[in-house]
Amino acid sequence: MFEKVLIANRGEIACRIIRTCKKHGISTVAIYSEADIDSPHVKMASEAYLVGKPRVNESYLNIDKILEIAQEAGVDAIHPGYGLLSENTTFANRCEEAGIRFIGPDSSVIARMGSKVEARKAMVEAGIPVVPGIARPLLDVEDAVELAKEMNFPVMLKASAGGGGIGMQIARDEDELRKAYEGNQKRATDFFGDGTMFIEKCIENPRHIEIQVLADGEGNTIYLWERDCSIQRRNQKVVEEAPSIFLDEETKVKMGETAVKAAKALNYTNAGTIEFLVDEQKNFYFLEMNTRLQVEHPVTEEITGIDLVEEQLKIAAGEKLSFAQSDVKREGHAIEVRIYAEDPKTFFPSPGKITTFLPSKKPYVRNECAVSEGSVVTPHYDPMIAKLIVKGKDREEAIEYLLHALDDYKVEGIKTNIPMLQEVIGHEAFKNGDVTTKFITKYLKR
Amino acid sequence: MSEVKSNMAGNLWKVLVGEGERVEEGQDVVILESMKMEIPIAAETSGTVKQLKKQEGDFVDEGEVLLELS
């Protein structure tokens, strides 16, 4: 096992990774920007280094500086967390070149899965179902219009390099498609430096259900069942749960086995997630693969009892998986909600100083927090300030627990989405399991 | 003369108007980027852009003047 690990991230995920490292006696190195000097992850780590100015490209995305710190601190490995450099091929390569283990898959797999066009091609080759569409980049707007007419509107236009909903838009007719093409190509070029676009059939009222996989370097690949992450705002997840209420056991197994098949075809190692869109008839289609730890990984940990960060560390250190598919238990029902610093009605960001921060202390609650009382939420980073996870013996109990926990949760000084989360979790449609990616627009009218 | 101010802290991502350009009340004049979200800022009054106070890429605080209208 490693002796010292640098966590190239911030916020709750840095804290979460440090916790597991500590459990295994691994020293931790935190990095922080000038804006994060008082952040919880800085205090938790064995050592902490200033990485740069607040902006991400001057701090958490500064590969040279991060590697310089890693070498100065003498770490064996770097855990990238999620977001930031976690799916950056150059970073993964540079770590390996510097003789530091990158905790994640091989950079060639990251590169393939990072391009939507390439990922789709790889999945088609592996015999994994994909959303009807084309496996090549669009030539121009006329090409897009012609293809959309062939596959019938509505269609989904996507930027190959996109993420977090950026560069992705539904077009219901030719006029909408023309506008969407122009706008999104420009945005993709500005945000990701790559304006490659592609198009696929739009699945109506889909559910977003993903499968967690674990693969060691010895050919053992297993799945840790599904997470339903259908409830989203601005194409970003807000509520995640496991198990899925919509799928039957047969489909769950089929999706799990499909995910394993995909991971094996890629020679995947470490933890990864295969995201699927599931239509009303329970047909599932590959959406994308995230070659890293997911924000919502705790719901899987809660129902399986497996510490995913621990498994990541072990795999990266060259250990074999210590359990087989048949050893993976499932027990109870877990739900996670993401607490964002934002207006609960408009979803506009709400930066500022947190004057009161009191998460629920109920025994069935797991808190993952990026902030504490007195923290300043700056405009430089993602608005997620915390995650709240509950586990009950079944979904009904988990919902009841979550409503109590949300009721307890007190954040003052900034606006949060807690009132919106209460609306979602308390909604009859949520209780009935009518959870599709359209939930917030359909039931909350926003 | 009136001013268009930023209603939140963020990076100035796009300036949508140029000096000397006529803008109408309610028209988006700049787009801020804050917490990975784009936030359009509209002019509260009609007028002509007299001076741009900030450039694309600048960091602006809440309440800072973005441009002057005459």
**Residue B29's domain spans which residues?**
2-69
Shortest Cα distance from B35 to chain A (angstroms)?
A: 5
* CB within 8 Å of chain A, chain B residues 16-55: 34-37, 39
What are the start-end ranges of the E strands in B1-70? 2-5, 10-15, 22-23, 28-34, 37-42, 47-52, 59-60, 65-69
Contact state of B9 with A378 under an 8 Å Cβ cutoff: yes
Q: Give the domain A132-201 fold.
A: Dna Ligase; domain 1 (3.30.1490)
- The CATH number for B56's domain is 2.40.50.100
> Which of A:342-361 have CB within 8 Å of B?
342, 347-349, 351
| pLDDT value for A234 | 83
What value, to the nearest 5°, has the Cα angle with vertex A373 and ends A369 and A377?
70
d(CA A169, CA A155): 9
Q: Touching check for B8 and chain A: CB below 8 Å?
A: yes
**CB-based contacts of A316, cutoff 8 Å, min separation 6:** A2, A77, A101, A102, A103, A104, A270
Residue A55 annotated to the active site: no
User: How high is the pLDDT of residue B7?
Assistant: 85
CATH topology of domain A4-103: Rossmann fold (3.40.50)
The stretches in chain A having pLDDT less than 50 are: none
Residues of chain A with C-beta less than 8 angstroms from the C-beta of B11: 55, 379
Give the closest residue to B17 by CA, choosing from B5, B29, B26, B31: B29
Establish if A167 touches chain B: CB-CB under 8 angstroms: no
Q: Is A379 on the interface with B (CB under 8 A)?
A: yes
Q: Can you give the pLDDT at residue A151?
A: 87
* For chain A, domain boundaries: 4-103, 132-201, 207-443
At A163 the pLDDT is 66
| Test mutation, B32, B37, B38, B58, chain A, max A CBs within 10 A | B37
pLDDT of residue B61: 86
- Closest chain A residue to B13 measured between Cα atoms? A190
Interface test with A, best of B11, B36, B39, B64 (most A CBs within 10 A): B36
From the list B11, B35, B36, the residue facing A351 with the nearest CB is B35
pLDDT of A165 reads 67
Q: Is B10 on the interface with A (CB under 8 A)?
A: yes
Q: How far apart are CA A6 and CA A81, in angstroms?
A: 10
Q: What is the CATH number of domain A207-443?
A: 3.30.470.20
Nearest CB among A349, A378, A380 relative to B37 is that of A349
pLDDT averaged over chain B?
91
Q: What is the pLDDT of residue A6?
A: 98
Question: What is the value of ipTM here, to two decimals?
Answer: 0.77
Q: What is the pLDDT of residue B53?
A: 95
For chain B, the domain total comes to 1
Nearest CA in chain B to A350: B8
pLDDT given for residue A332 in this prediction = 98
CB contact under 8 A, B8 and A55: no
